[in-house]
Structure 1
Amino acid sequence: MTKRPRVRAPELQGRTWINTGGRNLRLSDLRGRTVILDFWTFCCVNCLHVLDELRELETRHRDTLVVVGVHSPKFVHEAEPQAVVDAVERYQVEHPVLDDPELATWQQYAVRAWPTLVVVDPEGYVVAQHAGEGHAHAVEALVSELERAHEAKGTLRRGDAPYVPPEPEPTTLRFPGKVLRLPGGGTSQAAGSGGERFLVSDTTRHQLVELAADGETVLRRIGTGERGLRDGGPESARFSEPQGLALLPDGRTVVVADTVNHALRGCDLATGAVSTLAGTGEQWWQGAATRGPAREVSLSSPWDVAWFDGRLWIAMAGVHQLWTYAPPADGDAQGTVRAAAGTTNEGLVDGPAAEAWFAQPSGLSASADGERLWIADSETSALRVLERADDGGYVVRTAVGTGLFDFGHRDGPAEDALLQHPLGVTALPGGRVAISDTYNHALRCYDPRSGEVSTLATDLREPSDAVPAGGGPGGAGAAEIVVVESARHRLTRLRLPQEAVRVAPVAHRTRRSATEVAPGEVLLDVVFQAPKGQKLDDRHGPSTRLVVSSTPEELLAEGAGAGTDLGRRLRLAEGVREGVLHVSATAASCDDPDAAEGEPNEYPACHMHQQDWGVPVRVTESGTSRLPLVLAGLDGQDGLDGHDGLHGHDG
């Protein structure tokens, strides 16, 4: 392959900078350091995975590496300035962030997917691009290599990163995630309301907080408040961004979706003691076990939990699935987990549970009659439902929502209604369903009997969950609801209105522009090069996998389905002028003992690289007949130059 000219990294353009103390940065300010540009958006769970992957790398190379987040929004809400500031604090992003609401820098770097990492060397040239997650090992090796090479060359400049932390805010809760109404009585007695209490996942502070009936008085905190995975008493246990909460039938054990720890934790209400129920603490990857003893199977960003049909159901946001947890029984020491619904493909497809597609399911609630499990499917801005099928299995259908790229705030018949990235769902007495319509700052309602969607309340800052309050055990007959206003750091009690709130309808599509493709045949080319010092891992079969589909399904006349080649010829159907190509690629690589410096590693590590793309396309006569998507590539490789990739030049 001919070596192409090096590409000078384009300048960073956006609205404002965060975490810099008000200073505007330029790439020239960072010359002499390796720079990693992290293109992310805060709705994207894969982007959150990458934030976590980068933490250790930032610490290890703190004087030679600068990570710069480039926030590139998908949803309209994500373009709001305060929302970006909130997200940076919520997820404890400890590096400078460029707020780029118009996607100016995204377009200059020809980024096609969230998340994408671009590595810029100390002289200001792009040397690598990685889409998706699972690249930390490759980026670590490259950063170390650049550090050595440029120190020897005299072009490395050590020093502190230009990160200025925000001032801490003295609030009782900080970006709370989910809430659970606890049974009356118990060890912690609340004032009023017959001992009504609420347990809240205080996500950014890595704690559980028990509150009195007023939703403000703190009765106790569980967890040290430091990020970590540690079992023990309430003063020593550690969580990492906990979210969903559910009470087991024993009435004593609360299950916690410990999201960034990729685990389920158990909290004893009587003592506050915390234990690990499921998960290994490591993230699940394609090819890993999907069932088995609970503490021996990896999970991936469990976001919510709910007891339904004799098992605990898990909204496994990280892999777009629902899993279940069966507690220990009959001598079983740890219980079992298994995947129960979803293929891991991201999208909105109904049908038998094993064939359905989800997109970051983030909220669960079982109906009072036990007949159905309601699901807030956040990335498709949809309300989904799982029910028993005639054959004894489960089936998934969509109540509200149309797909990955359509969203808004519109009431009316469910087939026309729109939501915007809902994170919570609450089954109400009488059969209605409350939806925490997070990015619309609203509490919405779906009535299965009429098929209508209405608005119950507005001006709720990023509501992420709700629970019926008062009116008897479990909120039966409740006329009130307690809402988690995550971005206002509080619980808010509302009376359920008799009439809907009138809201002017709005509809949106994703801010990404469609890629113009030529009619007929299009070559899909997923670019992947094993990182230096590694080779493709084909010991147990093909090392790569490519799955392609489309919305609408009729867009593709040929080329849909799964295969092992990362290149594929697609044929677009005549008469279909636009749609979305769904592309999922994985590649397995292992350390190459023959390429190792010094003594060969007797136990080489193996790595999985993966990414899902949803590529909006529009068919035009002048469109491209080749669609390159970079999973991982190096400078000089096709897809990273000024033609198919970066809009830059050699300076």
Structure 2
Amino acid sequence: MSTNIMADFNDVLEACNNLHEKLEDKTSDRTENINKHLDLIENKLQYTVPEFQTGLEWINIGESLSFTNHLKGKIVILDFFTYCCINCMHILPDLEAVEERFSIQDGVVVLGVHSAKFDNERLSSNILSAVLRYNIHHPVVNDGQAVLWSELQIACWPTLVIVGPSGQYLYQLIGEGHREELIEFVSVAKKYYSEKGQITHQAITIRLEPSPSSPLRFPGKIYVSDDGQTVVISDTGHHRVLVTDKSGHVQQIIGGKGRGYKDGTFNNAMFSSPQGVCLLNSQLYIADTDNHVIRKADLDTGEVITVTGTSSQGNDKEGGGLGTSQEISSPWDVCVADSPDGQKNSVLYIAMAGNHQIWACMLKDVLWYKNKQLYAGTCLRFAGSGLEENRNNSYPEKAGFAQPSGITVSMKQNCLYVADSESSSVRSIQLKDGAVKNVVGGDIDPKNLFAYGDIDGTGNKAKLQHPLGVVMVTDDGPLLLVDSYNHKVKSVDISNRKCQTMLGTGKAGSTNGDNLSSIELNEPGGIACDWRNKLVYIADTNNHHIKILDLQSQKVQNLSIIFPSSASKDTDILQYNTTDGTDDVIKHGVRILLQIHLADGIYLNDQAPNSWSLYCEDTLLYDNLKESGVKLKGELTQELQQTLTIIPSTDIVREVCLKLNLFICEDSGVCRMDKKILTSNIEPSTCEETFILDLN
């Protein structure tokens, strides 16, 4: 490889664009085109990516990384992202697919470069919350001043930059939808540089940040029934929905056995980061965001079904399909309202964050706009062109939204109110004709999505920062909104569009009390109102709490989430047998053993902290295991068969996972760190369960 070539960066970008065009031609020899591009980079257009600035804060890694040290000899995928961006969320599964196919020891590293859009996103503590919320397991660096972003002329989120083993700029992919091209390019580049002897196989120690331990994990949205007796919480980080009474006693648990997609009973159903929830009689509608579907949970029968969506992210901007044949994209919130022909509660409106639109799903046969007959189950675009804009228009299909994330209805005003997060505004949509208007925030320039701030005022003179939720106190108002990145709740007089702060200091925190100006929130994501009892419920997302504001006493306190102490058919929470207080003696327990099979020339480094931890995707089971005093983690000995712990026996089949952090060495002296996850189903009759690990 020539070491004296320093190409003009614009020439490198042009070469990348040329390759992208060639790869779009499905008839071309793709591997040959990539290899020719790499030859061009190596022999003529080599440009070295600048090093990260010193002093930057890193997440999921114990030290700062550099291209000349830790990343030398690696194919590095730089993911330039900002955590508010729905498109950035959409490519996380693509990056996970890369990490599943290529390990760090294979010579491939995924590295997030967080380049903030909003001021609130510059803080590493907030980025850490997002990393935990979105289950990001690779290193992330906070490039708060967007230095590397500027040096590499990045123009939008997300952008992927692929860097070679000597820090050379190889390729870029802009936007979402490039999984196949990404994996293909990395695979060819890895082979190309392996044949040149430039790929190294040393490990990089990933240190995942600890997850919060609390009854709720990043609760996203909340709903309160008209009578104030039922509270529904989307416990987003636990991938479940909780139904409680007004005191926080859990009545029903829907999902929660880890991330997944499965219809069925409440106990067996699975979700992926659910957000918006709304209740119509006993039918609970759920925006199952990362599964790209709308689900319905019947609180009487205890069954979950999919209403609309294919479970894969869609690109359709028009819709019109029936049920599960209609693809949708990242639904974030839902509400029920009347149809144009006056049928009560006949339409489910959806804030479709993924394609910047408002959609409608017919719950009954209705006569839609322009006298179009639609049948129950039909799902289609109601408002928004699909372009990411802050465009108000009398014609709904010509209006533009930017990641709408909250939606509510005012029957008296006959309109929807929408928290349009990326334009930092609240918009209204008239149900009689679909006309879209500004309420507060944003800017008169429809393409300006950076008109944010924290200013009380009227109309677009008021400034917000990434609002995520809205609710009407009564049909006459006021309209309340969670101004998420300003860590506030604000109130809007809908008669004059005047917006003012209701509670919150503007800084992240968790203070309660009776002084509303000193109350602290942390990126609240949802809001609901019990107008009969004058209570406002706030999903205080990054604090993992639901806060209750009493409008009469002006006092704020947390809602205590109280799970049943014993098993029941409704909740299926396991009641554990008693323990005498030791780790190893539990009545009617299941002994957990680990058996290790080592290949010749392989051994565990006894000087390194080889460790184990036991966990369950069923978070209720795991929480109860912790509360019962069971030993759930420890150091591994050098014995090839060892007893790790004893857990209580179960009343039904339960899946238990054993996670191992190992330092594996060969007789040649080469050592590597490895993570292994073993799973097993513990049955009611089981008294001893052996996990078998084969190390080659």
Give the TM-score taking structure 1 as reference length.
Answer: 0.70
Cα distance between partner residues in 2 of 1:214 and 1:360: 33
1:12: how far off?
1.9
Cα distance between partner residues in 1 of 2:440 and 2:233: 28
Tell me whether 1:356 sits opposite 2:399 in the alignment: yes
Q: Percent identity?
A: 35
Alignment-mate amino acid for residue 158 of structure 1: H
Alignment-mate amino acid for residue 359 of structure 2: W
* Residues 384-423 of structure 1: pairs in structure 2 closer than 5 A: 384-389=427-432, 393-401=433-441, 402=443, 403-423=448-468
Is 1:17–1:23's contact at 8 Å kept on the other side of the alignment? no
Question: For residues 242 and 141 of structure 1, do their structure 2 counterparts lie closer, same or farther at Cα, with a shift above 3 Å needed?
Answer: same
Match of 2:89 in 1: 48
Cα distance between partner residues in 1 of 2:169 and 2:75: 10
Tell me whether 1:318 sits opposite 2:351 in the alignment: no
Aligned to 2:452, the other structure's residue is in SS state strand
Is 1:326–1:336's contact at 8 Å kept on the other side of the alignment? yes
* Residues 238-253 of structure 1: pairs in structure 2 closer than 5 A: 238-248=270-280, 251-253=281-283
1:461: how far off?
1.4
Tell me whether 1:262 sits opposite 2:286 in the alignment: no
Tell me whether 1:345 sits opposite 2:387 in the alignment: yes
Tell me whether 1:23 sits opposite 2:63 in the alignment: yes
Question: For residues 498 and 169 of structure 1, do their structure 2 counterparts lie closer, same or farther at Cα, with a shift above 3 Å needed?
Answer: closer
Aligned to 1:129, the other structure's residue is in SS state strand
Match of 2:320 in 1: 291
Cα distance between partner residues in 2 of 1:212 and 1:140: 48
Question: For residues 132 and 448 of structure 1, do their structure 2 counterparts lie closer, same or farther at Cα, with a shift above 3 Å needed?
Answer: same
Deviations along 1:1-21, one digit per CA (max 9) or x if unpaired, are: 995421112112375444434
Match of 1:446 in 2: 492
Match of 2:192 in 1: 149
1:333: how far off?
9.5
Match of 2:377 in 1: 335
1:48: how far off?
0.5
Aligned to 1:408, the other structure's residue is in SS state coil
1:51: how far off?
1.4
Tell me whether 1:487 sits opposite 2:542 in the alignment: yes
Deviations along 1:355-390, one digit per CA (max 9) or x if unpaired, are: 10000000000014261100000001101000045x
Is 1:321–1:342's contact at 8 Å kept on the other side of the alignment? yes
Deviations along 1:175-232, one digit per CA (max 9) or x if unpaired, are: 0100111466xxxxxxxx8xx23111111221112233234x4333221331111111
Cα distance between partner residues in 2 of 1:367 and 1:333: 24
Aligned to 1:57, the other structure's residue is in SS state helix
Alignment-mate amino acid for residue 322 of structure 1: I
Question: For residues 14 and 175 of structure 1, do their structure 2 counterparts lie closer, same or farther at Cα, with a shift above 3 Å needed?
Answer: farther
Unaligned stretches of 5+ residues in structure 2: 1-13, 16-39, 340-346, 367-373, 505-519, 557-696
Give the TM-score taking structure 2 as reference length.
Answer: 0.66
Tell me whether 1:76 sits opposite 2:119 in the alignment: yes
Tell me whether 1:305 sits opposite 2:346 in the alignment: no
Question: For residues 414 and 329 of structure 1, do their structure 2 counterparts lie closer, same or farther at Cα, with a shift above 3 Å needed?
Answer: closer
Question: For residues 15 and 432 of structure 1, do their structure 2 counterparts lie closer, same or farther at Cα, with a shift above 3 Å needed?
Answer: farther
Aligned to 1:27, the other structure's residue is in SS state coil
* Residues 605-620 of structure 1: pairs in structure 2 closer than 5 A: none
1:108 aligns with one of 127, 136, 151: 151
Say which structure, 1 or 2, has more relative contact order (CA 8 Å, 6+ apart): 1
1:202 aligns with one of 235, 247, 259: 235
Cα root mean square deviation, aligned: 2.4
Cα distance between partner residues in 1 of 2:121 and 2:386: 25
Is 1:14–1:98's contact at 8 Å kept on the other side of the alignment? no
Question: For residues 304 and 15 of structure 1, do their structure 2 counterparts lie closer, same or farther at Cα, with a shift above 3 Å needed?
Answer: farther
Alignment-mate amino acid for residue 8 of structure 1: T
Deviations along 1:101-131, one digit per CA (max 9) or x if unpaired, are: 1111111221111110000122321111111
1:450: how far off?
3.1
Cα distance between partner residues in 2 of 1:51 and 1:151: 27
Please, which moves more after superposition, 47-56 or 320-329? 320-329
Is 1:367–1:373's contact at 8 Å kept on the other side of the alignment? yes
Is 1:442–1:460's contact at 8 Å kept on the other side of the alignment? yes
Match of 1:282 in 2: 312
Cα distance between partner residues in 1 of 2:554 and 2:527: 19
Question: For residues 161 and 201 of structure 1, do their structure 2 counterparts lie closer, same or farther at Cα, with a shift above 3 Å needed?
Answer: farther
Aligned to 1:266, the other structure's residue is in SS state strand
1:37 aligns with one of 74, 78, 87: 78
1:500: how far off?
14
1:166: how far off?
1.5
Cα distance between partner residues in 2 of 1:487 and 1:457: 17
Please, which moves more after superposition, 312-321 or 223-232? 223-232
1:150: how far off?
2.2
Aligned to 1:145, the other structure's residue is in SS state helix
Tell me whether 1:432 sits opposite 2:494 in the alignment: no
Alignment-mate amino acid for residue 384 of structure 2: G
1:58 aligns with one of 87, 93, 99: 99
* Residues 618-637 of structure 1: pairs in structure 2 closer than 5 A: none
Match of 2:523 in 1: 462
Higher helix share: 2
Is 2:416–2:431's contact at 8 Å kept on the other side of the alignment? no
Match of 1:612 in 2: none
Is 2:438–2:460's contact at 8 Å kept on the other side of the alignment? no
Please, which moves more after superposition, 445-454 or 156-165? 156-165
Question: For residues 208 and 66 of structure 1, do their structure 2 counterparts lie closer, same or farther at Cα, with a shift above 3 Å needed?
Answer: same
Match of 1:605 in 2: none
Alignment-mate amino acid for residue 495 of structure 1: D
Cα distance between partner residues in 1 of 2:282 and 2:152: 52
1:161: how far off?
4.6
Cα distance between partner residues in 1 of 2:55 and 2:252: 41
Deviations along 1:457-516, one digit per CA (max 9) or x if unpaired, are: 1022111111112xxxxx3x4422111100110110112379999xxxxxxxxxxxxxxx
Moved over 4 A (4+): 1-4, 497-501
Deviations along 1:329-363, one digit per CA (max 9) or x if unpaired, are: 59x99711001111111111111111100000000
Cα distance between partner residues in 1 of 2:413 and 2:135: 38
Cα distance between partner residues in 2 of 1:262 and 1:334: 20
Is 1:18–1:85's contact at 8 Å kept on the other side of the alignment? no
Cα distance between partner residues in 1 of 2:385 and 2:297: 31
Please, which moves more after superposition, 33-42 or 413-422? 413-422
Cα distance between partner residues in 2 of 1:160 and 1:203: 33
